[in-house]
Amino acid sequence: MTARHDETFEVERYELSSPPTWRFALERRTFLAIFATVGSGLLVAATQARGQESGRTGSQGSAPTDVKAWVHVSEDGRITGYTGKTEIGQNIRTSLAQAIADELHVPLDRVSLVMADTDLVPFDQGTFGSLSTPRMAPVLARAAATAREMLLDRAAAQLGAPRASLTCDAGQITGGGRNVGFGDLVKGRQLTGVVPADAPLMPRSAWKVRGTPAPKVDGRRFVTGEHRYTPDLTRPGMLHGRMLRPPGYTGTLTTVDDSGARGMDGVTVVRDGTFAGVVASSARLARRAASAIKAEWTVPDGLPTATTLYDHLKATASTAAGGRGSTPTQTGDPAKARTAAARTFAATYRIPYIAHVPLEPRAAVAEWEGDRLTVWTGTQRPFGVRSELATAFRIPEDRVRVIVPDTGSAYGGKHTGEQAVEAARLAKAVNRPVKVVYSRPEEFSFGYLRPAGVIEIAAAVDAEGRLTAWEFDNWNSGGAGLATPYDVPNVRTQFHAAESPLRQGSYRGLASTANHHAREMHMDAIARALGVDAVEYRLRHLTNDRMRAVLQAAARGAGWPKPSVDGRGLGIACGTDKGSYIATAAEVSRTDNVLKVERLVVAYECGAIVNPDGLRHQVEGAIIQGLGGALFEAITFANGAITNGNMAKYRVPRFKDVPSIELLLLDRPDLPSVGAGETPIVCVAPAIGSAARTFGAVADALPVRFA
Amino acid sequence: MPTYTLRINGTAHDVQADADDTLLSVLRDDLDLVGARYGCGEGQCGSCTVLVDNRAMRSCVAKVSAVAKAQIVTIEGLATNGVLHPVQQAFLEVEAFQCGYCTSGMVMATVALLRTTPSPTDADIARVLDRNVCRCGTHTRIVRAVHLAAERLRAVTPSAGADGRLGEPALPQVAQEAQR
């Protein structure tokens, strides 16, 4: 492996993974194949809400071209939704089932979901970008609504009652003094339907299941330990694999003496080009065998370190287009405005790499049957991993099946399938199923990280302190959250792609956290320098009502401008990303040089609230995850190795770090719901940084440290 | 390779292992008791927490040879006849988990905590569970679940026993073996 700037692992890679160029109509035999798997009944194919096929078609209609999900009503009246989304702790297995149950007027326990099995579900780009709630929930709801209407059509005929007189409840349709169950309506049939463009969805006021807390589907299996994550799976005859790795994140294999491993009973050494690994009858033996291999690696000289990183990023900046934000956005003439300004404020902010540290490390179980491959793995992109496998083994995608068990979290860190490819290569060598589970140090060094970045801001104000110019350049973090929400007449923002020495990729909120930190710390610094209250200063430059509402709510909730306990510092920040609005107020204390976050007051608005309990879960989770990057997370590296790649050295938030958190959720039933799993992370660090300034100068960097 | 007899969830298991093999690897690889999760392998995240003679132990750093005479309870041994242990029930009701990967360890650490500290304060809970990582950020709910479980356990046995510990559902033990 060498340090790479591989487009596959590009910054904001998720924006580069576009859907297939051509989508061909589903053939009737595709439906038949699905029926063969799921059983007879009614199968409704749902496309994205816009640009749908027209007309409800029944079994004879033409098939749709851009199917996102299926809903199936079985002969026993059970309802199953099929979606390519993955359950990684965000609880969409429950919330998506709520949408289906509501539209079909059945209790939640009548509905189950088949998720992320590439043989059974329609193509999906992946679970990221907070899109499951705004995009997949309406798709499944429309499919369920169409199924309901088709069932009503059939019931009207079967009961001989006028359709308008029918009522539908708990899986029974009643009319003309008789009733019939969903199962009886579809018994012995293979009925197909396509969601029409005008599929009638229930108004929000009619929701009975959505909008209410629901216990987590399969919750019991998690408290009993019964649920099997990928590392817990076994297959008949399964063996255990382990990769030979360089001592750091990079290195070229020069010599290998594998005689020690080859001599062990039950051990197979697998070599293929630069790939080297072992397969053994137990995981313990595989570990022993791998460590018995004597290998030498060369590591290039002069690799960047955690200290030289920021100069390296700026020095390698590419002028080539590099995704969102790489073309400068300009309004007015900021350079000219700067020369005419009363005061200017410039700073450079440094953002380190941080790791996702999902508690379930990368893992995969691979099994070949002839030239057909099945892989179980925890990933956010089952179809992306299928494609990686097909490419790696030069087989068509339809011979590869990827199945994602509900996964022990990801936070944007599981978009790729290296573990799947490795397990499959080892399995192919021994012709038996093989499981690979990354060790925690492997997860740090051979997964990927949130991009590091350099952010330069040059701002200018007039004699009244009003912002007249705002120039914002980000090297490497990415384009999310690049634009300023503040009202400034002359603005230029630009993202500069750079060469990343470490492998990097998506992360919860991604670049938005870095960009929000720099922008909000800068706004805070300007307000302080001008002697203007930080909330008041922001409000003078904010015209967006939703942003003003969260900022004012957080300030009010925190008792701004006074901390709740004398001697503490109070800080605030606000922002917007992915269609939702956040403001965070932080109260901190200082003992010697150590900051402690004592209290967070967070106001958040993400449109109409679907599942209040689930929303609190996601928002609080994002806030606590944000504490890590704000207070202590930073990957250190030198000489081609990560030097804090284990959990003893890389601290993540723990119980003692968690302050009192007060959440103010602003419900906007008049607005569409947007995903809430990411945006609440973005203002944690700048709120803490701002509060820390009460006690002294703070470095222009993350984590927050006194200068 | 030596054979060890491990007393796990009330059953004796003979396993062949090296003295320095970890309890976690034996549980997961030899006995298919996978409720104790691998998270870090260095005793830092607590996902692998089990009870060894009623005390919470990180099974990923516990050597087999060191626990061969002990009574071991894993998450699989906590429920009795399909009835959840009060700590499991509390975690389920409060929904004190998101992805659930830390849950086995959190539940086991809580069972151990409540044996010695039947009425824990928030600070007691933070001190003890600080050795268990929840990466999803479910901490405040876990604290609520611990309080709920404590309340339920106190209700089951309102007065402390002779050893100063409050009652709780008996955990499985290997009956024929003399206790230390």
Q: What is the pLDDT of residues B147-156, one digit of tens each?
A: 999 999 999 8
- How do A190-194 and A267-272 pair as beta strands? unpaired
Mutate to test the interface with A, among B4, B15, B16, B38 (most CBs of A within 10 A): B38
In-domain check, residue A238:
yes
Is residue B17 a contact partner of residue B5, using CB atoms and an 8 Å limit? no
Cis omega (within 30 of 0) on the bond before B2? no
- For A286-291, which contacts have Cβ atoms below 8 Å and span 24 or more sequence positions? A286/A240, A286/A241, A286/A242, A287/A242, A288/A264, A289/A242, A289/A261, A289/A264, A290/A242, A290/A243, A290/A244, A290/A261
Q: Does B110 touch chain A (CB under 8 A)?
A: no
A417 and A473 assigned to the same domain:
no
For residue A223, give the nearest of B40, B91, B136 by CB distance: B91
Looking at chain B, which residue has its C-alpha nearest residue A227?
B35
Q: Answer yes or no: do B41 and A360 touch at CB < 8 A.
A: no
Task: Say which amino acid occupies A399.
Answer: R
Handedness of CA A281, A284, A288, A293 (dihedral sign): positive
Question: How far off is chain A from B159, nearest CA to CA, in Å?
Answer: 28
Q: Measure the CA–CA gap between A177 and A163, rounded to whole angstroms.
A: 13
Distance CA A360, CA B100 (A): 10
Work out the minimum CA distance from A225 to partner chain B, whole angstroms: 4
- pLDDT for B158 beyond 70: no
The one-letter amino acid at A520:
E
Note whether A410 and A476 are same-domain residues: no
Distance CA A392, CA A400 (A): 11
Cis amide bond preceding A703, omega within 30: yes
Beta bridge partners of B97: none
Alpha carbons A548 and A541: distance in angstroms, whole number: 10
Token readout for A221 is 């299996």
Copy the structure tokens of residue A329.
Answer: 């956005």
Nearest to A58 by CA among A73, A43, A39: A43
* Cβ contact B38–A361 (<8 Å): yes
Which strands, in side-by-side order, build the sheet including B11-16? B11-16, B3-8, B71-73, B49-52, B55-58
Residues 6+ apart with CB under 8 A from A83: A68, A69, A96, A113, A114, A115, A116, A121, A122, A124, A136, A140
Last residue in a domain, options A379, A414, A437: A437
Contact between residue A550 and residue A668 where contact means Cβ atoms under 8 Å apart: no
Cβ–Cβ < 8 Å for A291, A328: no
Could you tell me the sign of the dihedral formed by the alpha carbons of A497, A503, A507, A513, in that order? negative
Structural domains in chain A (count): 3
Segment A491-524, tens digit of pLDDT:
999 999 999 999 999 999 999 999 999 999 999 9
- Among partner residues A222, A437, A648, which is closest to B44 by beta-carbon distance? A648
Cross-chain residue pair A359–B45, CB shorter than 8 Å? yes
Picking from A87, A223, A597 by the largest number of B CB atoms within 10 A of its own CB, the best residue to mutate is: A223
Q: Rounded to whole angstroms, how far apart are CA atoms A622 and A610?
A: 18
Looking at residue A319, which CATH number applies to its domain?
3.30.365.10
State the smallest CA–CA distance between residue B138 and chain A in angstroms: 6
**Residues A287, A169 within the same domain:** no
Cβ of B37 and A232 within 8 Å?
yes
According to the model, what pLDDT value does residue A240 have?
Answer: 98
Among residues A513, A512, A468, A509, which one has the least CA distance to residue A486? A468
Chain A residue whose CA is closest to B104? A225
The answer to whether residue A292 sits within a structural domain is yes
Q: How far is A91 from chain B (nearest CA, A)?
A: 7
What pLDDT does A63 receive?
52
Helix (H, G, I), strand (E, B) or coil at B51: strand
Return the pLDDT at A504.
Answer: 95
Q: Which residue of B has its CA nearest to A627?
A: B137
- For residue A29, what pLDDT is reported? 63
Quick one: which H or E segment has residue A389? helix A382-393
Of the three residues A392, A417, A437, the one that is the final residue of a domain is: A437
- Same domain for A293 and A329? no
Q: Considering only CB atoms, which chain A residues are within 8 Å of B100?
A: 89, 222, 227, 406, 408
Q: Is residue A112 part of a domain?
A: yes
Roughly what angle, to the nearest 10 degrees, separates helices A382-393 and A418-430? 40
Per CB-CB distance under 8 Å, the chain B contacts of A406 are 99-100
Asked if the C-beta of B173 comes within 8 angstroms of chain A's C-beta atoms, the answer is: no
Whether A496 contacts A479, CB under 8 Å? no
From the CA of B66, how many Å to the nearest CA of chain A? 18
Residue A345 confidence (pLDDT)? 98
Q: Note whether A409 contacts B135, CB cutoff 8 Å.
A: yes
Tell me: do A421 and A460 sit in the same domain: no
Yes or no, beta carbons of B25 and A283 under 8 Å apart: yes
The predicted pLDDT at position A194 comes to: 85
**Closest by Cβ to A621, choosing from B44, B74, B98:** B98
Residue A373: which H helix or E strand, with range? strand A372-377
Give residue A325's pLDDT.
62
Residue A62 lies in a domain: yes
Tokens 């579809």 map to which residue?
Answer: A186
* Residue B162 C-alpha, separation from nearest chain A C-alpha, in angstroms: 30
Q: 């941080």: which residue's tokens? A: A354
**A570 touches A589 (CB < 8 A):** no
Other beta carbons less than 10 A from residue A365's beta carbon: 28
CA distance B50 to chain A (A): 12
Q: How many helices (H) and strands (E) does chain A have?
A: 18, 28
Indicate if A136 and A234 belong to the same structural domain: no
What three-state secondary structure class fits A659? coil
For residues A79 and A65, the answer to whether their CB atoms sit within 8 Å is no
B76–A654: do the CB atoms touch at under 8 Å?
no
What chain A residue is nearest to B77 in terms of C-alpha separation? A224
Complex ipTM > 0.95:
no
Instruction: Report yes or no on A697 lying in a domain.
Output: no
Interface test with B, best of A238, A360, A655, A657 (most B CBs within 10 A): A655
Are B54 and B115 contacting, i.e. CB atoms less than 8 angstroms apart? Answer: yes
Based on C-alpha coordinates, what's the Rg of chain A? 27
At A65 the pLDDT is 59
Query: What are the residues whose beta carbons fall under 8 Å from the beta carbon of A657, sequence distance 6 or more?
Result: A597, A627, A631
Cβ neighbours for A223, distance < 8 A, ≥ 6 positions apart: B84, B88, B89, B91, B92, B97, B103, B107
Q: Smallest Cβ distance to A222: which of B28, B32, B97?
A: B97
- Sheet with A569-577: strands ordered across: A569-577, A580-591, A594-605, A660-665
Q: In 3D, which of A479, A496, A693, A485 has the Cα closest to residue A582?
A: A485
Total beta-carbon pairs less than 8 A apart between chain A and chain B:
157
Tokens read off for A4: 């790479």
Q: Using CA atoms in the order B85, B87, B88, B90, what is the torsion angle rounded to 10 degrees?
A: 120
Asked if A331 and A394 sit in the same domain, the reply is: no
Decide if B136 and A89 are in contact by the 8 Å CB cutoff.
Answer: yes
In a domain, A222, yes or no: no
Instruction: Please tell me the predicted confidence (pLDDT) of residue A64.
Output: 57
Distance CA A302, CA B57 (A): 43
Same domain, A75 and A94: yes
Using an 8 Å CB-CB cutoff, list chain A residues near B148: none
Taking the CB of residue B5, how many other CB atoms lie within 10 A of it? 13
Domains of chain B: 3-77 (3.10.20.30), 86-156 (1.10.150.120)
Query: Pairing mode, if any, of strands B71-73 and B3-8?
Result: parallel
Shared domain check, A146 and A182: yes
Residue of A nearest to B78 (CA): A224
What is the rounded distance in angstroms from the CA atom of residue A376 to the CA atom of residue A520?
A: 42
| Position A704 in a domain | no
A348, A487: one domain: yes
CB contact set of A567 (below 8 Å; sequence gap of 6+): A589
Cα–Cα distance measured from residue B136 to residue A657, given in angstroms and rounded to the nearest whole number: 14
B79 close to A (CB below 8 A): yes
Q: What is the Cα–Cα distance from A258 to A496, expressed in whole angstroms?
A: 44
Asked if B129 has any chain A CB less than 8 Å from its own CB, the reply is yes
- E strands in A578-677: 580-591, 594-605, 637-638, 641-642, 660-665
Q: Which phi and psi (to 5°) does residue A278 adopt?
A: -130, 155
Query: Between chains, do B103 and A360 touch, taking CB under 8 Å as contact?
Result: no
Q: Residue A685: CB partners within 8 Å, gap ≥ 6? A: A513, A516, A517, A626, A629, A630, A702, A703, A704
A655/B100 CB distance under 8 A: no
Which positions in chain A touch B141 (Cβ < 8 Å)? Answer: 617
CA triplet A579, A582, A587: central angle to 5 degrees? 165
How far is the C-alpha of B49 from the C-alpha of B41, rounded, in Å? Answer: 11
- Residue A526 and residue A634 in one domain: yes
| Secondary structure of residue B172 in the 3-state scheme | coil
Sign, Cα dihedral of B129, A217, A126, A378 = positive
Name the B residues in 4-43 with CB < 8 Å from any A CB: 17-18, 21, 25, 28-30, 32, 34-42
Quick one: A540 and A582 in the same domain?
yes
Interface contact A223-B28, CB threshold 8 A: no
Regions of chain A with pLDDT less than 50: 1-19, 50-62
CB contact, 8 Å: B65 with chain A?
Answer: no
Distance from C-alpha of B97 to C-alpha of B106, rounded to nearest angstrom = 10
Q: Which domain holds residue A317?
A: 309-353+449-692
Q: For position A11, what pLDDT does the model report?
A: 38
What per-residue confidence (pLDDT) applies to A135?
84
Q: List the single best residue of A93, A115, A220, A222 to mutate versus B (max B Cβ within 10 A).
A: A222
- Neighbouring residues of A65: CB distance < 8 A, sequence distance ≥ 6: A23, A24, A25, A26, A47, A53
Q: Do A224 and B79 touch (CB under 8 A)?
A: yes
What single string gives the DSSP state of each residue in A533-572? -HHHHHHHT---HHHHHHHHHHHHHHTTTS-SSTT-EEEE
pLDDT at A652: 98
A700 in any annotated domain: no
Contact between chains at B137 and A622 (C-beta distance less than 8 A): yes
CB contact under 8 A, B38 and A231: yes
Instruction: Give A413 to chain B, closest Cα distance, Å.
Output: 13
